Amino acid sequence: MNYHIGTMLIDEHFNASGECPLCKIKKTVEVRLTEQYLGEGVMEDNTRKEVNELGFCARHYDLLFSFPSKLGLALQISTRLKTVMKSVEKPEKAKQAKKIADKLDLSAKKCVVCKYLDDHMIRYYKTVAEVYYSKPSFRKRFAEERGFCLEHFAALNRYSDCAHSEQKSYLNDLYAVENRYLSALEKDLLSFCDHHDYRRRDLPLTEGERDCLKTARSAFYGSKR
Ligand SMILES: [Zn+2]
Ligand SMILES: [Zn+2]
């Protein structure tokens, strides 16, 4: 399960719309990757082997379920269930019960879509830095972004060496964007709290103040699906 990573999504989603651009890229990639499990490749040997082994997390099961092909999902899940049933054993001794629990807990943490999604996103974090390095016109757009969620701010920092000789300037811009974003959020949150004082109750709220808890949600946890 794979598809080509280009710079098209980066070009499309770094558009200062307000939402974290990496969250928008992630949502698009996630849908594309997930859809593949319901398409023609559904019963290819390699795909089936991986689905059997890793299964899907709840988030990706729900996403698969949101697509029209219920047959595709039923086929995937029925082969996965065969593997899971091997772990549902009757313990002969009490000691074995813990082993069964450990095995099931470990298997519940795995997901084939998450695995590929993580790989793809790492390539996007690196490519954003590379585009910053190779396309001067992108630098201005990057610096004009509203902000990144904390997960993606961290990831862009982690792979900043892909901006090569522009790494320092890339990190400066990244920090400036995030600092502006979080400082504005902090200010809006304080004003929002102040507003609950009866003496200020009648003053109108700005848009930022009104939406500050939603913005905080996006900053801390990324944007919702
Ligand atoms: Zn994000
Ligand atoms: Zn998953």
- pLDDT band for position 16 (cuts 50, 70, 90): confident
Q: What per-residue confidence (pLDDT) applies to 1?
A: 45
Q: What per-residue confidence (pLDDT) applies to 48?
A: 86
**Does the residue 3 lie in any domain?**
no
Q: Which two tokens stand for residue 91?
A: 């313990």
- pLDDT band for position 113 (cuts 50, 70, 90): very high
Q: Which two tokens stand for residue 73?
A: 């999902």
Q: Which amino acid, 164?
A: H
Query: Separation of 201 CA from ligand 1 center, angstroms?
Result: 34
Q: What per-residue confidence (pLDDT) applies to 5?
A: 73
Query: Separation of 6 CA from ligand 2 center, angstroms?
Result: 23
Query: Separation of 153 CA from ligand 2 center, angstroms?
Result: 21
Query: Separation of 34 CA from ligand 2 center, angstroms?
Result: 9
**Does the residue 2 lie in any domain?**
no
Q: What is the pTM of this model?
A: 0.89
- pLDDT band for position 2 (cuts 50, 70, 90): very low
**Does the residue 21 lie in any domain?**
yes
Q: What per-residue confidence (pLDDT) applies to 189?
A: 96
CB 176 within 8 A of CB 143: yes
Total domains present in the chain? 1
**Does the residue 179 lie in any domain?**
yes
- Using alpha carbons only, how large is the chain's radius of gyration in Å? 22
Report the distance separating Cα 36 and Cα 45, nearest Å: 14
Query: Separation of 187 CA from ligand 2 center, angstroms?
Result: 35
- pLDDT band for position 224 (cuts 50, 70, 90): confident
**Does the residue 1 lie in any domain?**
no
Q: What per-residue confidence (pLDDT) applies to 41?
A: 66
Ligand minimally distant from the alpha carbon of residue 151: 1
Query: Separation of 54 CA from ligand 2 center, angstroms?
Result: 10
Least confident of 12-21, 37-46, 139-148, 201-210: 37-46
pLDDT > 70: what percent of the chain? Answer: 97
Q: Which of 82-86, 102-106, 110-114, 195-199 has the highest mean pLDDT?
A: 110-114
Please compute the mean of the pLDDT values over residues 46-61 and round it to a whole number.
Answer: 92
**Does the residue 119 lie in any domain?**
yes
Range of the domain at 190: 8-221
Q: Which amino acid, 104?
A: L
Query: Separation of 96 CA from ligand 2 center, angstroms?
Result: 29
CB 195 within 8 A of CB 205: yes
Protein residues with C-beta less than 5 angstroms from the ion ligand 1: 20, 22-23, 149, 152, 222
Please compute the mean of the pLDDT values over residues 118-139 and round it to a whole number.
Answer: 96
Tell whether the model's pLDDT for residue 21 goes beyond 50.
yes
Report the distance separating Cα 156 and Cα 174, nearest Å: 8
Query: Separation of 136 CA from ligand 1 center, angstroms?
Result: 23
